[in-house]
Every structure is written in C-alpha cells, then in structure tokens.
Structure 1
Amino acid sequence: MVVAAVVVLGALSWFVVVLLPGWTAGGDVARLPPAERLTAVGAVRTQWITWTSVITGLGVGAYGVYRFYLDKDKQRLDQDKHLTGLFDSATGRLESDDPTVRAGGLRTLFRLMTDSPRDHQPVVDTLCDVLRQRAADSAAGRLPRDVVAAADALRDRPDRPEIRPVDLAGVRLPGVRWPGIRLPHADLGSVCLDGADLTGAVLTGADLADADLGKAKLAGVTAAGATLKNAVLTGADLSSANLRDADLTRARLQGATVPGADFTGADLTDADLRGVDLRTTTGLTGASLERAVVDGDTVLPVAAR
C-alpha cells in the first residue's frame, strides 16, 4: 500500500509539474520568445503547485479529523466494553457467600460510579438492593462488611442528579455512620437507624414514618417537609435541626435534645414532648403545642407560654 501511494503521488506530481502547466497556458505560449514562454509556464506551474498543495493539505486535514473521530469512537466503545465488564464482574461477586468478597465487589461499583456518571443511577439502585436484602435483618452490633461497604458507598456517592429517590424502606442499619448523607425524598419508612450518625444529613421531604431513630445523632439535619409520623426519636440529638413543615404526628421525642431546632409549621399532633427542653427552639406556638403531649418537665419556649 505504501509503494502504491508513492507511485500515485509521483505520477500526480509529474502531471502537475510537467504536463498540466503547458496545457493550461494554452497554444499562444508557443509563439512567445523562449524566456517569456519559460516565465509563463513557470507562473502557471507555481499556481497549480500552490492549489495542489492546498487541496492536498485539506485532504490530509479532513482525513486526520476522520481518523480522530474514528479513534475516539473506538476508544469510547473500548471504554464501554471495559465498564460493562467491570459492572458485570462486580455484581457477580455480590452472589458470593463470603461477605469480604461481596464488600470488594461493592467497592468496585463505587469506583465505577465515581468514574462514570452514566453508571451512577444503576449503581445507586444496586446499593439500595443490597442494603434492602442484606441489612433488613441486621441485628444490633457490628454490621457485616458488605453492608458497611454498601452504606459507605451510598453516603460518599458523587453529588449528581438522580432520576428517582433512594428506597431503603424497612432496612436495619443500627449505628451506621452517615454524616452528611443526601437522602432527599427518600423512602425510609420503618427503617431502624437507632444510634446512627446522621449529623448534617439532607432528608428534605423524606418518608421516615415509623422509623426508629432513637439516640441517633441528627444535629444540623435538614428534614424540612419530611414525614416523621410515629417515628421514634427518644434520646436523639436534634440540635439545630431544620424541621420546618415536618409531620411529627405521634412522634416520640422523650429525652431528645433540640436546642436551636426549627419547628416552624411542623405538625406536632400527639407528638410526645414530655421532659423536652424547648426553650431555644424556634417556630413553636401555643397552638402547635396544644396538640402535643407535654408534662410538667417539658420546658416551653417563652413565646409559647
């Protein structure tokens, strides 16, 4: 192929340099004196060489662009093949009987999610599937390695738009460390997160009905508009929590610490606030507290007395 290209290029050069200038210059050139004839043919030859160089350059450039996109497509296909293989290999390890092997697969999925935005949602869904399957019956104490790996990956996932809320209904993750986790509008109904660390978590609009959050660290949590019906919050730390417009119907908050918590617009119907110090909270009114359950040990804010 190289020899053929050299032959074609040589023939084209001979045609442009030797034959074409004479033809283009026309028959009148033959009647010119030798010096002028040589000058005229040379001028035409120069023009043709220039145009040929331009056209050749454009052709080479176009071919280069074509090769660039061709190579780019090949690289993309190779990368897709690699990522698909990585996903299949990682999910395959989730079927192992060894929790350490499963944890390794989950950490591989986390790396895949971090490197590939397109695979973000499938990996999040897989993490939720694992937590629903493996953590539903987790007893209090040390969580299995694969459950910890899935929980850590969900907590540390990249902050990207997600097409559906996280679904962890009924999951048991006592003592899980989830500071700063983002679970807006998540389905967390009947979860067990007693003793968990959710400091600074984003739970805006989340469904936490019947959730067990006893003794959980919820300082600085954003739970505006969240549903906390029948939630167990006994002994929980809700310092500076944003509970605006939250539904706390029949929630149990005995022994909870709530300094700086914002209850503006929250529904406290039958919420158990016995013994809770509410002095530094905001948003509580006499009307909202009339629907709550209080006792002589409940310390009311001045504005609501």
Structure 2
Amino acid sequence: MGLRKVWLTVIGTLGAVGLTGVLALTFTPPSQRLARWLAGGDWSSMDGAARTAAVGQVRLAVVQVVAAIGAGVALTYTARSYRLSRRGQVTDRFTKALERLGSSEPYVRIGGILALEQIVQDAPDQGSHAARVLNAFVCRHTESAGAPASLSSVQLPERPDEAVQEALRALTVPGARGGGAARAQVDLAKLHLAKVRLPQADLRNAVLSGATFSDAVLTGARLEGADLTGADLMRADLSDARGLTVEQVLSARRLRGCVLPDAIRSDTQVAQRVRGNE
C-alpha cells in the first residue's frame, strides 16, 4: 500500500508539472509563434483579427489534446485500480473457501467447494489453482484402494462421502481446471472411489491408475489419454464414454460387468473380460 501511495504522488506531481507547462506554452507568446509556424506563408497576409483567431484556435486545440490525454490517463488508472481491487476480492474469497474446506462439519466443507467453483466461474484464471486444492481435498478424504495386508480387515466405505462426491464433481466439470499449459491434471491414483457418480466428467489425461471405480457412473465421460492401468472397473458404467480406447480398457485390472461403448465392447479380449473371463 505504501508503494502505491508513492506512485500516486509521483504521477500526480508529474501530471501537475506537465499541465502547468502546457498551459504556460498555450497562454504565452510561444502560442503565437506556434500559430505563425502552422500558418506558414499565409501569416504575413493575415490581418490582426485573423491572426488573433488563429492563435485562439491553436490554444483551443492544445487544450483539447491535453484534455484527451488526461482522460486517457485517468481511464488507464481506473482500469488498473479495478483489476487490483478485483484480484484482492478473489484472493479474499479463495482464502475463505479454504477455511471452509478445513471445517469438521460436512455441510461447511461442501459450502467451501461450491465457493471455489463460483470463484472459477467469476475468475477463470483461478481454475488451475482451485483444481489443485480440490484434488488435494479428495486425496486427503478418500481411503486408499489397496490397503496393506496388515490392514486387510479395514472396512472400506461403500461410496464416497457427500463432500468428496461434490469435490469430484466440481473438479471434473468441463472447463473447470483452466486451459492450455496451465490446465491442472486430475490425479486419483489408488483411491477407493466405488459407486462415485461422475456423468459427463472431464477426465482427459487423468491419472486413474490403481483406483477403484467399481459400480461407478461415468456415462459420457471424456477419457482421452486417461491412465487406467490397474484400475478396477467392475460393473462401472462407461456407456457413451468419449476418447476411450481398447488399449486403455485392457490395461484395467478388472472389467467384469463393465458397461462400455459399442466400439470398445466389440473387441474380443474386452468382451471376454467383461463376461468374467479374466
């Protein structure tokens, strides 16, 4: 804030000095010399009234130019101030959303997730940052798909809790993770996500290796480049999934009862594994 005040002082001082100089040039003898130079050879043939009018026109033109420049500077400064103010508001909203995500109350966490989603809609350039936060939230609040042998008695949840489900939905909504090189990658490797519901999800280039998606709903999901190595897709619904290849499907660990697009299901190896001939 101190630096901003310094810049304001500098800009104000320079503006005042410049305005004083222009006005001095305009309303002193130099304006007459400028009018004579602009009139060229016609100056000598002009009478007193014509010369006075010419000088007046020069002064008016200078004032108009100065006014236009001043308006441009003011507009530029206003736009810059607006951008800084808006950025500060987004940062403040982002911080409050993070505080909600850390709450022990499920409904407060869901409110934080919805707040992040709204921030991305209002400020798309924050998409990759929000995606990384949501991905970390999912990983922290989801059981591992492969419990160690010593923990084999651990009861895995039947389905993700409501906050995790909502975070996954917000994370995989088309266009929610930014674009281009800044696009955040979804990493759900080795997570237990049985019965998750993500229709029309954007899972392009997602890391889903070793994850459990048994009985999951992924209808119409985009899966171009997604890593399904070792994933459990038993009875998962991938009907109308886009960008899915036979190689991706065959890399999965389990496919029994999986619903797949016709072009994928017609493959002999895939059909055998879907029927339970692992």
Question: TM-score normalised to the size of structure 2?
Answer: 0.73
Runs (4+) of structure 1 exceeding 6 A deviation are: 18-22
Structure 2 match to 1:172: 192
How far the C-alpha of 1:208 sits from its partner, in A, is 1.3
Aligned partners of 1:132 and 1:169 also within 8 Å: no
What is the number of residues matched between the two proteins?
237
**Structure with larger RCO (C-alpha < 8 A, sep 6+):** 2
Distance 1:157 1:64, change over 3 A: same
Residue matched to 2:83: 76
Q: C-alpha displacement at 1:176, in angstroms?
A: 1.8
Residue 230 of structure 1: CA displacement? 4.4
Aligned counterpart, 1:287? none
CA shift in 2, pair 1:276/1:220, >3 Å: same
The amino acid across from 2:168 in the alignment is: A
Counterpart for residue 244 of structure 2? 223
- Are 1:133 and 2:140 counterparts? yes
- Give the corresponding residue for 1:247: none
- Residue by residue over 1:128-178, the C-alpha shift from the partner in whole angstroms, topping out at 9 and shown as x without a partner, is 11111112366114x323112201202324264254431111222222221
Match of 2:234 among 208, 214, 219: 214
Report the AA paired with residue 236 of structure 1.
Answer: C
Matched with 2:111 is 104
**1:215 offset after TM fit, Å?**
1.2
Aligned to 2:10: none
- AA aligned to 2:143 is A
1:150 partner amino acid: A
Task: Kindly provide the amino acid, as one letter, of the partner of residue 94 in structure 1.
Answer: L
Shift of 1:214: 1.4
Question: 5+ unaligned residues in a row in structure 2: which ranges?
Answer: 1-15, 37-44, 145-155
Letter in 2 for 1:158: G
3-state SS of 1:226 partner: helix
2:147 is aligned to: none
2:211 is the alignment partner of 1:191: yes
The CA distance in 1 between the partners of 2:92 and 2:137, in whole Å, is 20
CA–CA separation in structure 2 for the residues paired with 1:90 and 1:157? 21
> Equivalent of 2:222, from 196, 199, 202?
202
* 2:169 counterpart of 1:152: yes
Which amino acid is the alignment partner of residue 146 of structure 1?
A
In structure 2, distance between residues paired with 1:202 and 1:21: 73
Between stretches 148-157 and 123-132, larger displacement belongs to 148-157
Kindly provide the CA deviation profile for residues 61-89 of structure 1, in whole angstroms up to 9, marking residues without a partner as x. Answer: 11111111101000000011000111111
Distance 1:275 1:106, change over 3 A: closer
Identify the residue that residue 129 of structure 2 maps to in structure 1.
Answer: 122
Indicate whether 1:42 and 2:49 are aligned: yes
Deviation at 1:52, TM superposition (A): 1.2
Aligned to 2:69: 62
Q: Could you report, residue by residue, the CA deviation over 1:222-253 in whole angstroms, capped at 9, with x for unpaired residues?
A: 32353643421211111335x5xxxxxxxxxx
- Give the CA deviation at 1:91: 0.7
**CA deviation after TM superposition for structure 1 residue 55, in Å:** 1.1
Q: Give the one of 72, 87, 92 matched to 1:85.
A: 92
User: How does the TM-score come out when normalised to structure 1?
Assistant: 0.67
The answer to which structure has the higher helix fraction is 2
Counterpart Cα distance in 1 of 2:233 and 2:274: 18
Q: Which residue in the other structure is 2:102 paired with?
A: 95
Q: Which runs of 5+ in 1 are unaligned?
A: 26-36, 244-257, 278-292, 295-305
Q: Secondary structure at the match of 2:272?
A: coil
Cα distance in structure 1, aligned partners of 2:183 and 2:168: 20
**2:187 is aligned with what amino acid?**
D
User: Is 1:204–1:226's contact at 8 Å kept on the other side of the alignment?
Assistant: no
| Aligned-pair CA distance for 1:104 | 0.4
The RMSD of aligned alpha carbons is 3.5
Q: Distance in 2 between matches of 1:166 and 1:275?
A: 26
